[in-house]
Structure 1
Amino acid sequence: MGHFVGVDVSLELSSVCVVDTTGQVVKEAKVSTEPAELVRFVQNLGLEVERIGLEAGPLSAWLHDGLAGAGLEVVLLETRHVRAALSAMVIKTDRRDARGAQLLRMGWYRPVHRKAAPSQEVRALLVGRKLLVAKLVDVDGGIRGMLRGFGLKVGPVGRAGLPRRVRDLVEGHAVLRSILEPLLAAREAIRTELARLHGQVLALARTDEVCQRLMTAPGVGAVVALTFRSGIDDPTRFRSSRALGPYLGLTPRRYQSGETDVSGGISRAGDTMVRAALYEAATVILSRAVRFSTLKRWAMAVAARRGVKRARVALAQKLSTVLHRIWVERTTFRWAGEAHTSGRAA
């Protein structure tokens, strides 16, 4: 008789539940959140384990690799599906969450793709860069807000010219200068490290053939290309390019019951970073003077009918389809009047 193991992952101790094919709970335990400890627990059961389920999360990929490396059948479970399936429980505990093993037994789950190590490394680089960008914006806003309280207005000035402008404003204000100088020094350190990380992003994009092809599309630079590549990881796991829109949460929600049929805003499911990158690329295409293309013509027609905001979302969805086709077919973006060029061998 086969058995299924559900693991509710926590930082120190994970709750584990083992059920048989009839749904009967065979064993429950707390196990240290380490791959070796989980492998030892499963092996010491002395039972035939068909599948182990981990809810997707920060530690899940690491645990997945350790369990799979020991020859165990393990899957990552889509978080929204698990939450929806367990939402009927009045009381929520880690022990009850581990009973998600019942989902494995019944097949009521959606497996999550385990990204390759290179894609995880690229994502870590992009997250680090994004973090420094956010901190730089926070420091700039904090400096401006602090000066505004004293009636000192920085006004429109570039990032490079901000320190000089701030020092000119606080000339003669000893206390303000003593406060702002450390902030300006920290700001300069952030800019230096941000430039270093951004240089790594550009270097990766220059040496990656897929990114070079993706960057032929309008609005797609090194950051967008690397974000899309690391987020999708394996383009062949999608049966159709049009599947990327729903996967990335760029399609409308829908609720239908009886006479009620409501379409809402986009679902915002899937990878937030990829969705945001595509939206930024769509914004660039619509708002900046980039080379005219069929994509921009189509988006402008949508904007005329439905408004600019909806046109950006629609263009982001369409761009995801275009980038996927470029990747799968090993082509480049076809501008109006250009012949089709394929990278496939003849």
Structure 2
Amino acid sequence: MNTIVIVGLDLAKIVFHAVCCDQHQQIVKKKMLKRGQLLKFINQLPPCLVGMEACAGAHYWGRQLRALGHQVKLIPPHFVTPLVQGNKNDFNDGLAIVEALGRPRIHFVEIKTIEQQDMQALYRMRQRCLKERTALCNQARGLLAEYGIVLPKGISFIRSRLPTILEDAANGLSVLFRRLLAHSYQQLKELDAHIDSYTLELKVLSQQDEACQRLQTIPGFGPIVSSVFRSVVGNGAAFRRGRDVSASLGLVPKQHSSGGKAVLRGISKRGDCYLRGLLIHGARAVMNQSARKQDPLSHWINRLKAERGVNRAVVALANKMARMGWAVLSTGTVYTQA
């Protein structure tokens, strides 16, 4: 019987499909497994290479299978999809994962630790509350405009003026709408409390994590940016160089070249859009202070801003921050000015 050396595992919530192959990627065994049967089945196999798509639950199963002595690799789904042959089904997906494992230029996803997932869960919940608060304020502003009350943009105006509007008996608002508006104001205060709580948790985690403390030595990296960057990049081992990190975050030009003619467009905007936005906001804060400083980084920023404009300079600085962040994580050092 051929020895199983590669397993393509198609993950799901309840039913999993495993495609076991030999060193020549010939199918040795195919198995449909319930959730409770997966670890028992994998434990019966000799130590082998297990591949999975980097999807929901992949990091958990990656840690579990690695603890059983197997080598586990997570593959971005967009690398697996083109390799599916025939009709799409779970077994063909598993076989495509096996084929992707043998490709020479596939970039794999590093398995997250429990601490990284804790940080990720925290900032994702904070991000959800931020979106809900923005939506709530936009709705309140739009509804008030229908009653002839126009408020300026900004959450602070909604927060400060809603109590005054509710107390003004001469503004023509009906009793029902006042009651609805009061409910929206209560929701706004609750969301503010949740956001403050999540922000405090992120700051505490960043203080307890040594890597986050080192990241905060980089200009533009505060507690939130460092926590999110740490949860996404990990220790930097999944990337060969800093440019790979900035490319994975969509901070490099998108190329569309043909016929020997190189064409570079705007940034690709791939990867984690939330972290990319945080880096750009951090870069903008650094740029606002650069005009009053004389260090080498500030000189570089001011020259680039004069030559290429503010927006391009901000994105270029965010790119540099991502590369510096990888260098700090991968080498275990802190940022120092040249």
TM bucket normalised to smaller: 0.7 to 0.9
Which ranges of structure 2 fall in alignment gaps of 5 or more residues?
A: none
Q: Select 1:116's aligned residue among 101, 113, 118.
A: 113
Letter in 2 for 1:40: K
Q: Select 2:93's aligned residue among 92, 97, 101.
A: 97
**Do the aligned partners of residues 166 and 103 (structure 1) sit closer, same or farther apart at CA in structure 2, a change above 3 Å counting?**
same
Alignment of 1:57-96 (within 5 A): 57-86=55-84, 89=85, 91-96=87-92
Q: Distance in 2 between matches of 1:43 and 1:331?
A: 42
Q: Distance in 2 between matches of 1:289 and 1:305?
A: 15
The alpha-carbon deviation at position 231 of structure 1 amounts to 1.9
The alpha-carbon deviation at position 236 of structure 1 amounts to 4.8
* Structure 1 range deviating more: 70-79 or 283-292: 283-292
Q: Distance in 1 between matches of 2:151 and 2:116?
A: 41
* Structure 1 range deviating more: 269-278 or 312-321: 269-278
The alpha-carbon deviation at position 43 of structure 1 amounts to 4.6
Question: RMSD between aligned alpha carbons?
Answer: 2.8
Question: Does the residue aligned with 2:74 lie in a helix, a strand or coil?
Answer: strand
Q: Distance in 2 between matches of 1:79 and 1:6?
A: 13
Question: Does the residue aligned with 1:29 lie in a helix, a strand or coil?
Answer: strand
Question: Does the residue aligned with 2:48 lie in a helix, a strand or coil?
Answer: strand
2:301 paired with 1:302? no
Assess if the C-alpha contact under 8 Å between 2:279 and 2:318 holds in 1: yes
Question: Residue 37 of structure 1 corresponds to which residue in structure 2?
Answer: 37
2:163 paired with 1:161? no
Q: Distance in 2 between matches of 1:304 and 1:22?
A: 57
Q: String of CA shifts for 1:274-317, please: whole Å, max 9, x gaps.
A: 32221121122234688535434423433333333322221111
The alpha-carbon deviation at position 59 of structure 1 amounts to 0.8
**Do the aligned partners of residues 79 and 309 (structure 1) sit closer, same or farther apart at CA in structure 2, a change above 3 Å counting?**
farther
**Do the aligned partners of residues 147 and 288 (structure 1) sit closer, same or farther apart at CA in structure 2, a change above 3 Å counting?**
farther
Give the total of aligned pairs: 329
Q: String of CA shifts for 1:132-176, please: whole Å, max 9, x gaps.
A: 111111111111111112221123562541432442566652121
The alpha-carbon deviation at position 256 of structure 1 amounts to 4.0
Question: Residue 248 of structure 1 corresponds to which residue in structure 2?
Answer: 249
Letter in 2 for 1:212: Q
Q: String of CA shifts for 1:241-287, please: whole Å, max 9, x gaps.
A: 34432233322232444334332333334443332221121122234
Query: TM-score, normalised to structure 2's length?
Result: 0.84
Q: Distance in 2 between matches of 1:291 and 1:164?
A: 41
2:6 paired with 1:10? no
Assess if the C-alpha contact under 8 Å between 1:53 and 1:77 holds in 2: yes
Q: Distance in 2 between matches of 1:204 and 1:42?
A: 35
Letter in 2 for 1:163: L
**Do the aligned partners of residues 228 and 81 (structure 1) sit closer, same or farther apart at CA in structure 2, a change above 3 Å counting?**
same
Question: Residue 344 of structure 1 corresponds to which residue in structure 2?
Answer: none
Question: Does the residue aligned with 1:235 lie in a helix, a strand or coil?
Answer: coil
Query: TM-score, normalised to structure 1's length?
Result: 0.83
Q: Distance in 2 between matches of 1:307 and 1:25?
A: 57
Letter in 2 for 1:67: L
Alignment of 1:307-326 (within 5 A): 307-326=309-328
The alpha-carbon deviation at position 104 of structure 1 amounts to 2.6
Assess if the C-alpha contact under 8 Å between 1:249 and 1:275 holds in 2: yes
Q: Distance in 1 between matches of 2:177 and 2:263?
A: 55
**Do the aligned partners of residues 302 and 165 (structure 1) sit closer, same or farther apart at CA in structure 2, a change above 3 Å counting?**
farther
- State the identity as a percent: 25
The alpha-carbon deviation at position 121 of structure 1 amounts to 0.8
Q: Distance in 2 between matches of 1:69 and 1:91?
A: 34
The alpha-carbon deviation at position 40 of structure 1 amounts to 2.4
Question: Residue 282 of structure 1 corresponds to which residue in structure 2?
Answer: 283
